[in-house]
A and B are shown apart, each in its own frame.
Chain A
Amino acid sequence: MKKSAKCLFFFLIFFLVSDRGAFAFNLAGEVRSLTLSNGMLWLVVHRPSVPVFSGLVMVKAGGLDEAMGKTGLAHMFEHMAFKGSKRIGTRNYAKEAPLLKKIAELGLAMSEEQQKANPDAEKIAALKQQIQQLTQEEYQYMVKNEVWKILSVKGAEDLNAFTTKDVTAYHASMPVPVFPVWADVTSEMVFYPVLREFYQERDVVMEERRLRYDNSPYGFLFENLVQTAFPDGPYHSSPIGFPKDLVGLTMQDAGAFHRRHYIPQNMVGVLVGDITVERAKEVLEKTFGNVKKTSKSLDSGFRRNDKRDFAFQGEVRKIVKFPSEPYLVIAFHKPAAPSRADYVFDLIDGIACEGRTGRMTLKLVKELKMASSVSCSNGFPGSRLDNLFVVYASPIKGHSLEKLEKAILGELDLLARKVAISDLKRVKDQIVYNFFWGLEDNMELAEQLAQAQTVVGDWRYVVTFQKKIESIGAEEVMQTAQKYFQPDNRVVLYLERGNR
């Protein structure tokens, strides 16, 4: 299963509704919203063609809500949500509870030791052994992976969860008759989790980190990018967390994180498929709606100093070594969605990088043959705070990163001086194409709506997007490029072959 800490190429995928021509599917009219009695918002898109549905619950809690020294906690909790509740995953919770309490105490001592400058290996091994023994004892009451088992055996596809810097989401697609089962199990996961096998799972997350970051050139590169571009603040770390923090995460931390962020007003649910809002309402009230409304403040406030401005602070350059072929990254600080500039950067992305005739692809890949690929990403590493426009490229053997950098900067410079009507038309047409293809898959649509609602604060972002884009002309694109593509607003990273 890929419970991904999606952070590498994460950005909002934008769509819009076309007002050219009489298209059958009018998204704005199809999205029905429903607020449960406890304040949790649901969006429902009724699509009766196949008796299946995709369900997704998104929590406005991600890596950026972690306290200092606790990076990786949002993602760690995401893993724990699959371990069950007081009702699911157990034959006798009352018997389990005292064991879990003991494990929590031992785990706290173990984590403290593991984080010391000179940890006592014997002490750690002894504590680990004790935890393993207690877990063995707990196995007589535990029903292994029951959350997963119920959903998967009832036909779940796309059963997974992901954590980004901005959000955490839990999702599955299922045959429509088992919708009540999905609602029941998923509400138990997010509202009443029991933190079973926490320390075994922490080891699993350590393996995930090794796999995705320590042994992957992309993971390594983009983790370095956020650390370089954001010298501190919430975007300084990747969602997976720093190893030194990970070994210190405890059951107490995960419990506190959950209590603070997993409250009805801080979540949105989306259903897309063969379910009407009327039918959904009754089931949702009985499951997600049975959690009490809380009066807690929604202010994430966990971290300090998240309003610091990193833009125009002088160029930052860094060379990092990794045992792989080389890569180049050039990034620029910019405002997040739904700012006007962010829309313009979506256009810039299209002009520079997308399609067969994206300018940089044409120049660097096809004409000069110095890169095997050039890509752009607008909105890295998230959109709740000001973020980056990123260009990354892999050179063809024999071409230096210096030469590649120069060529890319040349193209960006040209963008600030020359944008044709045909450039804009091509990108705008492509956006219409992306919009309709983005509706094909139920889950993809659910994710876009949840993302817009959670991060931008309104799912209608998705349907008003085209109008905004249509209102942007060549002059504004050039001005925006001029303003932000400045040396003192730039981060340049070279990944060269070598030992880490």
Chain B
Amino acid sequence: MTILFLFPLSLLASPWTPPKVSVYELPNGFQLYLLQNSELPILQAKLFVQTGSAYEKEKTEGLADVVADLLAMGGTADKTPAELDQWLDAKAIHLSGDAGRELTQITVSSLAKEWESLFSILHEVVTAPRWDKDRFDLIIGRTKEGLRREKDHPQILAGRALRKMVYGEKNPWGRQPTVKSIGRIRPADINGFYKKYYHPNRMLLAVAGDFSKPKVKKWVEGHFGLLVPQDTAAPDWKKIPLDAKRETKRIKKKVTQAFIEAGHIGLERGSPDEYAFSLLQYILGGDPFISRLGVDIRSQSGLAYSVYSNWETNPAGGMFSIHVQTRSDAEKAVLEKIDFHLKRMAVEADVTGEELKIAKEALLNKYIFLFDSPFKVVFQKATFDLLGYPKDYLKKYPENIRKVTLAEVQAAAKRYLHPDNLKIVVVSP
């Protein structure tokens, strides 16, 4: 980027520029993002792999995460799992694996003096996994137990059910791991999944902290640079249309509140309406004490401790959702309030210029907090780039927010909020 990235906040006496990430691509397609900062003698690296639960085949839901866990815990060709555990603890190096829907992260952190051990162990676990059978059993057992225990948390229960209703049980964005699906996973599935997706041309290593850029670059070229790239067929993610029907699902549970989750298909990723929609969202339920839902349901009526709306985008069509818990006899009152606010916006396009002004100011003033830590800066850039956002997405964000007009927000309300198509889940006694 040749244009100087000046911090756009007029509040600041002198302009501040967020630190710039150094971006490299090795000949085998492996990407390396570095951001050096030596204020503290610490270091963290994340290896992003373009795979995740959305890449799983039906009926093996949960596989991507088990693979990531087993990479971090299952030992290497050279080290048994017990040896790996001891080796890491002796050097105070933290290593973990976690699969999201579209991206998997293998994260490793340490004090700066251990930098070489940090990279060598990351390389070792990712390129020479042992797939230890005992650790496989351990991870399967703990994952099943974790899923059993999720049912004890009504919010999680309701959230899972909503996803299923909005996307359908078979869609990669609606599917979720169950005790049954985890039980079906075999060691052969692990290796198959790994072989299919863990290739250098699907990887990005992002590093921040106290290290020498030339040394780390050289090390990475000499190790990750040697991996052989391989092409994998692109996934076939079907767009989900907005379902025309309003539907309510009730789940009975021994609780003293109604846990309400409501939502429908929302905004597509990369939509030019994103900025108008995010401002609309803020006005409806994005802030606990400024947004309409919070002011009405919480402060004025005392009906909930937590009430907010949210949105996400993904290749299948994003999701718009509302979350609230209220005492069980107030369920109807809260649902009516949600409908009232949605209709006021969606049908009457009732959004005021004053509300828009406040929303813009808040989002623009908080913008600096996307950049207040070198770790945030580099991992965030890696994520946005891998998800296919334009390279200058964050840089242009303030400008794009600033130029949204009231008419655009009102149009977004009519286009993207659909109270008549709402899917609602209520977990209650």
Contact = CB atoms under 8 A, between A and B. Distances in A.
Interface of A: 1-2, 21, 23-25, 47, 49-52, 82, 144-145, 148-149, 152-157, 173, 175-178, 197, 199-208, 210-211, 214-217, 323-325, 355-357, 362, 365-366, 369, 372-373, 394, 396-397, 426, 429-430, 432-433, 436-437, 439-442, 499-500
A228 B301 CA distance: 36
B120 interface: no
B368 A155 contact: yes
Given A155-B362, A176-B12, 4 more contacts: A153-B358, A201-B302, A203-B303, A432-B111
Most buried by B among A153, A206, A357: A153
A1 B88 CA distance: 37
A175 B12 CA distance: 8
Interface stretch (B141-149, B165-173, B237-245): B141-149
Given A1-B288, A145-B295, A152-B362, A215 B256 contact: yes
A436 to B, nearest CB: 5
Given A153-B361, A369-B138, A441-B373, A148 B154 contact: no
Contact of A436 (B111, B301, B362, B369): B111
Contacts of A441: 373
B143 to A, nearest CB: 9
Given A145-B289, A396-B141, A51 B12 contact: yes
A451 to B, nearest CB: 20
Nearest to B111: A433
Contacts of B146: 372
Nearest to A176: B12
A323 B11 contact: no
Contacts of A178: 11
Interface residues of B, number: 71
B40 A24 contact: yes
B89 A148 contact: no
Contacts of A207: 257, 302-305, 325-327
Contact of B306 (A2, A202, A217, A429): A2
28 contacts: A1-B289, A23-B41, A24-B39, A24-B40, A50-B16, A50-B372, A144-B289, A145-B299, A152-B290, A155-B362, A175-B9, A175-B368, A197-B300, A199-B302, A207-B305, A207-B326, A211-B257, A214-B257, A215-B255, A215-B257, A325-B152, A357-B85, A432-B111, A433-B110, A436-B40, A436-B111, A442-B372, A499-B254
A440 B40 contact: yes
B389 interface: no
- Interface on chain B toward A: helix, strand, loop, or mixed SS? mixed
A205 B305 CA distance: 7
A433 to B, nearest CB: 4
A144 B295 contact: yes
A175 B370 CA distance: 12
A214 B429 CA distance: 13
B366 interface: yes
A176 B145 CA distance: 46
A210 B152 contact: no
Interface in B275-291: 287-290
- Interface on chain A toward B: helix, strand, loop, or mixed SS? mixed
Report, nearest first, the 4 A-B pairs whose CB atoms are least far apart. Answer: A155-B365, A203-B302, A324-B152, A1-B288
Contact of B41 (A24, A214, A217, A430): A24
Contacts of A177: 11-13
A355 B256 contact: no
B198 to A, nearest CB: 23
Given A207-B305, A207-B326, A324-B152, A437 B42 contact: yes
Contacts of A357: 85-86, 89
B219 interface: no
Contacts of B90: 426, 429
A211 B306 contact: yes
Interface in B236-266: 253-257
Most buried by A among B86, B153, B372: B372
Contacts of B111: 432-433, 436
B113 interface: yes
B392 to A, nearest CB: 21
Contacts of B300: 144, 197, 200
Nearest to A54: B372
Nearest to A199: B302
A144 B301 CA distance: 13
B9 A356 contact: no
Interface in B184-227: none
A395 B12 CA distance: 53
B137 interface: yes
A380 B134 CA distance: 35
B289 A204 contact: no
Contact of A217 (B9, B88, B152, B294): B152
A210 B138 contact: no
Nearest to B13: A177
A397 B145 contact: yes
Nearest to A395: B145
B256 A204 contact: no
Contacts of A430: 89, 92
A200 B368 contact: no
A493 to B, nearest CB: 17
B427 to A, nearest CB: 10
Contact of B372 (A52, A356, A500): A52
